[in-house]
Structure 1
């Protein structure tokens, strides 16, 4: 043992450790690193064995890594909707990285710089700055761990506690806590036992602990050696040096355990989540991978059908439950928890690797990994993906499951009716195609047939504005607006079919391709500048998904009713707009003569998922509402945090036993949680599906006398008139 007080402005790295112990330490370190590397190799071998991903995940890799580093270091996703969680994770991450860097600096000094320069840079001012930063960031690390433990064990945050919560979660957090506290105890004992050198005051946490040991009167070998009358007390028969020795080894062994354990349990998210952010698709969800043209291709018959990125998604999940907390299906008591779907797949995969029994990935009756009712509950609103701090692409895996469910014929009877209606009549209502343009009969002007005349705007009206009585009023309002603005627009009449967006998300990929092929072939025979969509769902699929379809793969298939064999709009030459974007331009140009004071309603606005979260369009609808003079009050959940109406992902056509309905909860929020409260007169939407769901929710929720559901187009027409 070293019995001499420390006077040089540095410290002995392995203070109190014998040469034999030093050798044992490095033998254990070598074994730990080998175990760690083997675990990482196993993990990445699994990814290599996964199916190829349809998207290039490694293009522009330096930019991807730089962006991922910014996202990870800023913790921007952790702060989303959760300030406490953001601070907690930031303290842990920044503290952990600082301690890792500090350890690396010691290694560089001892094993690179010192042999070359015959000296050390870990002295004087550098040492003092180093010690201060390590203490400051180490303290943040311990505080962050304390915050996590408080939330998990004291508050009992339900978001963190579910059927996939296990002992590994407890081991993880307590191991980090032991490493953080153990490091400070070591520092305090060393400072105290070496005579509390003045310069060590920069190690303010360790120095503070040393003062505690001094106040307690803990004995030291150094004190006994220099003063025969030394009477300080020992604790449990130990002096400071012995305590330091014990804690040093416990700390080292705990660190070795943690490092070796990383690839085999929850700590691996430190690697997998960063890799997941690096390889993310920035357009995930808004575009889905195309089904192979090979009709024998499988989607989710076995876990081997999942791509390497989907497997990485499973490993990146930290069980934080943020996706579950924002899921409207879970909030409505539908049997869907997005976290559990991802973790169920992971648990099944890992079970097979250890000799588990194979079973269907998705089926009815509970004998499968995922039950069909679970996936039918998904609204494809993308709230889970928006909330996920590690960029898990839930919708990719969910769509794979839905496709398998459709292939097996396990979709609900109501969805099968919708498929049949679309196949036979080109619309989800099953009404005759010749009636598609009848909504325009009540207009005081004729609507141009875009198949016969050149137009500026080719207006895709959509199913609900064409066939649903309530939404026909919205279509007529929009037609009136375009006529008033004196723009050239036309529609396809009976050559317009359903856009295919939502049946694709339910899993009916081939019918989607049929619809896409029909439309791009029809558009190819028309002359226009811009496609304008009434429905955000149509806007999303035309803008983001039709250009992804390789029509050449399908053009020769006798089952496909088109011969188009090109990549449609691959260069983005054709502008695709939601109608609010097009009309906002017209208002800005003064084409509608709005002064911003025509109406004085108190309103709130609901962001449609496919316009907002999917395509980041939040301002055009609000600009139009304000242009009418209405007093707009935001709901607490707005923009990217908007709550789904319940109609997406096939929800419009299915019946669920849910309480409350998403539409009812949203209307309640409008009347109770906005700053205007019950003074809200109109609940404003910009989506035909939202209109349908909220009109239904207004009736079933008892809100008919409290507020009116209107489309922005109806407000504008009233303002114009």
Structure 2
């Protein structure tokens, strides 16, 4: 019976080259289908509305998230459309997701075209473009994108079930559950991927049944000629035709059609209520991303009291961070690159995000908050040890394909612990030392410049004379014996280069970068104000920092307190590279012959995209530079950031030990690597410690780029003396 749908019958389509839309579906079935479609769309729209209305209840963001929407959308389309972050460190996943996404979008477009033709062009205008050459092109393209889609889903099934990628199996995909709701939550990944698979395969099977079922309309009882353009379905039909008659295919077709249709409509209705919502929330999250989120934390509202600072309840979260929770796809990329997780610390970035999401959803159902977000005094949603474990390296944020901002949320939870007097004791001791003496060592401020006394020259005082470079030395180069050697090397380089520079002597205070990241915002603000005051009292053009942590906060955060460091703040490698390139040190490029590897500090590389200056300096000394597999933006944190340098944490293997193992075993040079080169005082401290605890003292030496450069300068001087001595001997013989 021909349904009320406008359009030609299957027989009429033989001449027009088209397809009957509702073949073998009754008028009643036609109305039921569109009635169910309206219900599915209504459930979709209602669910999306509920989700986004919940975000509107979140706290306002201090940084612009929705400014210049057209440009943000264009950027998001570029990022999502290219799948560039899906390919990050995982080619297989990148190909898989690209196939699924573009296959899904292609099928969605094909379905939309069909709906427009059916309900608008045919019914309103009495005409159709879904015939002839357009129909042939449409069918071929639909089969092609469908094949792409099924291939991508098949890759996902292999990765999840055959290969059983451990990254995809965790507490939120467990197979033990307390009830139906927990079961659905635990199985939603499985339901999602299998639904996609059956939708893709079901579409081909449905078309194949139609081809077999209409073969009696073809020439000499064979398949209709033009159905070959549906090349995948046609191939399936050839297989079915070996044991299935046209009559049997016609009998099976309505059952297959309804099964496929109900699955598709059920999927549409399900989208806002489970895993499929990431198709919407992930794109929205990329649109609302903050490019500075890694390097620049947001200040605390000065009007807030101690009880209001940090995340103590779900209502305290910003709308962007609530969106973060819904955007999470459980892929585990963040956890896979987390150095804290790799070292056995109690931190799984993915589970923190998903635990917060699960707790929020339970609250929305139950309507009553039962526990704090983070606490050492009572059971809480997030274990405070997880926050202690975070190194603020932001590797998780770099790896996340949907731009989730883990570390800013962790910082807010640290702020809550701090304001409620629950900071980790070892870190609290360091904070007290900084508060009382301006440095984490607890030594008097007057001792800060004592490291200069072993130099054979006096360093200018930037408080008393104008200089080009104000050198901010930092805590560890000032007080730590090992890093004092690095400071003296830097001073030697600046002196040798004959540049105008000076230091603040005892007026220098801790920069506050890591103070802020452990949650002590009040102390950070005090340090920032003290350092800004010292900067304003000195005369200089640029600030050069020994420590990448100082470089980051001066450059990216001090403007929040009235001092703009943009274009005025440099890491020492950037300044020294220029000196080397300008010939100020007169190096030949062959002074040293060490085999070395270089470690990218998080705050210099991942935070501020400076990768080449340190490497250019190393090469300028003549050293043979061998890269570790994890380098540049994929560098593996030393473990010292985010208060890790001050914390006393049990771990299976220190991040520094794992990194040294990588240097000696995974670089091309292997155990021939003689020197492990760093450009950060914290890295120096952590790797010297890891060299001892990991048993690498006899195998490799930790050296700073400054020390390497001074070695080159000294080698050049010795070579020059030897050459001069040789010339004098020749002159004497003459």
TM-score by length of 1: 0.93
Query: For residues 720 and 133 of structure 1, what CA distance do their matches in structure 2 show?
Result: 66
Query: For residues 630 and 129 of structure 1, what CA distance do their matches in structure 2 show?
Result: 60
Query: For residues 210 and 281 of structure 1, what CA distance do their matches in structure 2 show?
Result: 51
Where does residue 135 of structure 1 map in the other structure? 143
Query: For residues 283 and 378 of structure 2, what CA distance do their matches in structure 1 show?
Result: 34
- Structure 1 residue 313 corresponds to structure 2 residue 324: yes
Shift of 1:414: 1.1
Query: For residues 652 and 113 of structure 2, what CA distance do their matches in structure 1 show?
Result: 57
Structure 2 contact 300–309 (Cα < 8 Å) conserved: no
Change (3 A) 1:132 1:496: same
Match of 1:622 among 615, 618, 621: 615
Where does residue 199 of structure 1 map in the other structure? 226
The SS at the match of 2:643 is helix
Match of 1:70 among 71, 75, 78: 78
Alignment of 1:499-648 (within 5 A): 499-547=511-559, 549=560, 551=561, 567-569=562-564, 572=566, 574-648=567-641
The SS at the match of 2:346 is coil
The SS at the match of 1:439 is helix
Structure 1 contact 602–631 (Cα < 8 Å) conserved: yes
Where does residue 564 of structure 1 map in the other structure? none
Change (3 A) 1:521 1:119: same
CA deviation profile, 1:35-68 (whole Å, cap 9, x unmatched): 1111111101110000001111011111110110
Where does residue 92 of structure 1 map in the other structure? 100
Where does residue 701 of structure 1 map in the other structure? 694
CA deviation profile, 1:531-589 (whole Å, cap 9, x unmatched): 10000000000011111x2x4xxxxxxxxxxxxxxx2217x3x5111000111111111
Where does residue 233 of structure 1 map in the other structure? none
Where does residue 66 of structure 2 map in the other structure? 58
Change (3 A) 1:3 1:35: closer
Query: For residues 388 and 509 of structure 1, what CA distance do their matches in structure 2 show?
Result: 27
Where does residue 187 of structure 1 map in the other structure? 207
CA deviation profile, 1:612-665 (whole Å, cap 9, x unmatched): 111111111111100111000000111111101000110001122111110000
The SS at the match of 1:15 is coil
Structure 2 contact 10–23 (Cα < 8 Å) conserved: no
Structure 1 contact 598–628 (Cα < 8 Å) conserved: yes
Where does residue 438 of structure 2 map in the other structure? 426
Where does residue 145 of structure 1 map in the other structure? 153
Shift of 1:295: 4.2
Change (3 A) 1:366 1:95: farther
Query: For residues 341 and 479 of structure 1, what CA distance do their matches in structure 2 show?
Result: 44
Deviates more, 1:405-414 or 1:105-114: 105-114
Query: For residues 66 and 303 of structure 2, what CA distance do their matches in structure 1 show?
Result: 26
Query: For residues 295 and 148 of structure 1, what CA distance do their matches in structure 2 show?
Result: 47
Structure 1: gaps spanning 5 or more residues? 222-238, 552-566
CA deviation profile, 1:365-401 (whole Å, cap 9, x unmatched): 6711011111000000000000000000001110000
Where does residue 363 of structure 2 map in the other structure? 352
Structure 2 contact 309–416 (Cα < 8 Å) conserved: yes
Alignment of 1:265-344 (within 5 A): 265-296=274-305, 297-344=308-355
Query: For residues 114 and 484 of structure 1, what CA distance do their matches in structure 2 show?
Result: 83
Structure 1 contact 33–260 (Cα < 8 Å) conserved: yes
Query: For residues 11 and 312 of structure 2, what CA distance do their matches in structure 1 show?
Result: 70
Where does residue 18 of structure 1 map in the other structure? 26
The SS at the match of 2:699 is coil
Shift of 1:114: 3.5
Change (3 A) 1:542 1:3: closer
Structure 2 contact 332–350 (Cα < 8 Å) conserved: yes
Shift of 1:347: 0.9
Structure 2 contact 86–97 (Cα < 8 Å) conserved: yes
Shift of 1:112: 3.1
- Structure 1 residue 263 corresponds to structure 2 residue 272: yes
Shift of 1:5: 8.6
Structure 1 contact 502–648 (Cα < 8 Å) conserved: yes
Shift of 1:118: 3.3
Where does residue 246 of structure 2 map in the other structure? 220
The SS at the match of 1:458 is strand
- Structure 1 residue 33 corresponds to structure 2 residue 41: yes
Shift of 1:3: 7.6
CA deviation profile, 1:96-129 (whole Å, cap 9, x unmatched): 0000011111122223334565321122222222
Query: For residues 74 and 441 of structure 2, what CA distance do their matches in structure 1 show?
Result: 48
Query: For residues 64 and 390 of structure 1, what CA distance do their matches in structure 2 show?
Result: 14
Shift of 1:4: 4.4
- Structure 1 residue 389 corresponds to structure 2 residue 401: yes
Shift of 1:155: 1.6
Alignment of 1:247-258 (within 5 A): 247-258=256-267
- Structure 1 residue 211 corresponds to structure 2 residue 238: yes
Structure 2 contact 431–440 (Cα < 8 Å) conserved: yes
Query: For residues 75 and 120 of structure 1, what CA distance do their matches in structure 2 show?
Result: 35
Shift of 1:413: 1.3
Shift of 1:595: 1.9
Shift of 1:207: 0.5
Query: For residues 57 and 320 of structure 1, what CA distance do their matches in structure 2 show?
Result: 25
Shift of 1:704: 0.4
Where does residue 230 of structure 1 map in the other structure? none
Query: For residues 691 and 292 of structure 1, what CA distance do their matches in structure 2 show?
Result: 36
Query: For residues 342 and 377 of structure 2, what CA distance do their matches in structure 1 show?
Result: 23
Shift of 1:433: 0.4
Shift of 1:253: 0.5
Where does residue 557 of structure 1 map in the other structure? none
Where does residue 254 of structure 2 map in the other structure? 245
Structure 2: gaps spanning 5 or more residues? 2-8, 174-185, 216-222, 715-734
Shift of 1:598: 0.9
CA RMSD of aligned residues (A): 1.3
Deviates more, 1:244-253 or 1:9-18: 9-18
Shift of 1:594: 1.6
Structure 2 contact 597–677 (Cα < 8 Å) conserved: yes
The SS at the match of 2:615 is helix
- Structure 1 residue 173 corresponds to structure 2 residue 193: yes
Query: For residues 211 and 568 of structure 2, what CA distance do their matches in structure 1 show?
Result: 69
CA deviation profile, 1:333-370 (whole Å, cap 9, x unmatched): 10000001111111111111111651011112671101
- Structure 1 residue 652 corresponds to structure 2 residue 645: yes
CA deviation profile, 1:658-716 (whole Å, cap 9, x unmatched): 11110000000100011100000000000000000000000010000001000011111
Match of 1:674 among 667, 680, 686: 667
Structure 2 contact 312–413 (Cα < 8 Å) conserved: no
Structure 1 contact 372–410 (Cα < 8 Å) conserved: no
TM-score by length of 2: 0.92
CA deviation profile, 1:182-234 (whole Å, cap 9, x unmatched): 10101111122122221221211010011112222x1223xxxxxxxxxxxxx
Query: For residues 624 and 14 of structure 1, what CA distance do their matches in structure 2 show?
Result: 71
Structure 1 contact 269–318 (Cα < 8 Å) conserved: yes
Structure 1 contact 6–194 (Cα < 8 Å) conserved: no
The SS at the match of 1:652 is coil
The SS at the match of 2:605 is coil
Where does residue 458 of structure 1 map in the other structure? 470
